[in-house]
Amino acid sequence: VDFSGILNIDTIAERYLFDIYSVLRLQGIEVVMTGIRPELAQTVVRNGIDFSSIKTYATVKQAIETQKS
């Protein structure tokens, strides 16, 4: 899931993303998030959403290169 270019996210969208993550994990799909800006991360934390169990990368390129290894 790439968040590049997203400046704000509301609580409802955060919860939907976490629900999608949970369903995909149940199906054995590894989910990674990229492009989360510091401001967006702070908003997520303030809203009480815990994304700490999700692998995150600064860029899509970094995620792809890491997954190849």
User: pLDDT tens for residues 18-62?
Assistant: 889 899 999 999 999 999 888 888 888 888 877 788 888 989 999
Structural domain includes residue 3: no
> How many domains are contained in the chain?
1
Residue 69 has pLDDT above 70, yes or no: no
Note the pLDDT of residue 68: 77
Structural domain includes residue 44: yes
Structural domain includes residue 6: no
Domain hosting 37: range is: 11-68
**pLDDT level of residue 10 (50, 70, 90 thresholds):** confident
Question: Measured between alpha carbons, how far is 43 from 60 in angstroms, rounded to an integer?
Answer: 21
53: CATH: 3.30.750.24
* Continuous segment of H or E residues that includes residue 38: helix 38-46
Structural domain includes residue 5: no
Structural domain includes residue 28: yes
Instruction: Judge contact between 6 and 40, C-beta under 8 A.
Output: yes
- Helices and strands (DSSP H and E) totals, the chain: 3, 2
Note the pLDDT of residue 28: 95
